Amino acid sequence: MPIGVILLLLFLALFIWSVVTPSSLDKAIAQGKKQHNPEPVIKELQKRPPEYQGKFFERIMTKIWEDKEHRFAISLLQRFVQYRPADPAGHKWIALILEQDSLLQEHFEEGFLDENYNPNAIPGGPSG
């Protein structure tokens, strides 16, 4: 078999393997959902460069929210805001959740919103 064909087959095998193998972030999300614990996701986020953690968090929240895992999403959101209090991504998600359904406010830990939510942290927010 010509070397070019072998290399092409090897490349295709690696490509298929990379597509079907869940990423470490996907594994952490699955583990967090199963355990009802946001820590595996937060630990995986901490491995990313700080300047990209907010973007990764937004993608994760979108996926979890679209999967209708609202309680887990709120739990993760609270933990993220405590971990990165100045990151606009967390405050943006709090605003989105409160705008979407005020009944979801009851799923936040008591006092969390008063102590941690800062709408001014959102670009274009009340004073942004």
pLDDT (tens place) for every residue of the chain, 128 residues total: 678 777 777 777 666 765 566 588 889 999 999 999 999 999 999 999 999 999 999 999 999 999 999 999 999 999 999 999 999 999 999 999 999 887 888 899 999 999 999 988 888 755 44
Residue 37 in any domain: the answer is yes
Residue 111 in any domain: the answer is yes
Quote the number of domains for the chain: 1
Q: Model's pTM, two decimal places? A: 0.79
Alpha carbon 72 to its chain's center: 11
Query: Which of 66, 62, 71, 80 minimizes the C-alpha distance to 116?
Result: 80
Alpha-carbon distance of 66 to 84, in angstroms, equals: 23
Residue 90 in any domain: the answer is yes
Give the model's pLDDT for residue 127: 47
Residue 10 in any domain: the answer is no
Alpha-carbon distance of 66 to 53, in angstroms, equals: 20
Please give the structure tokens belonging to residue 119.
């709408």
Give the model's pLDDT for residue 115: 94
Residue 55 in any domain: the answer is yes
Convert the pLDDT of each residue in 55-68 to its tens digit.
Answer: 999 999 999 999 99
Residue 70 structural domain: 23-121
For residue 67, CA distances in Å to 70, 83, 111, 117 come to 8, 24, 27, 24
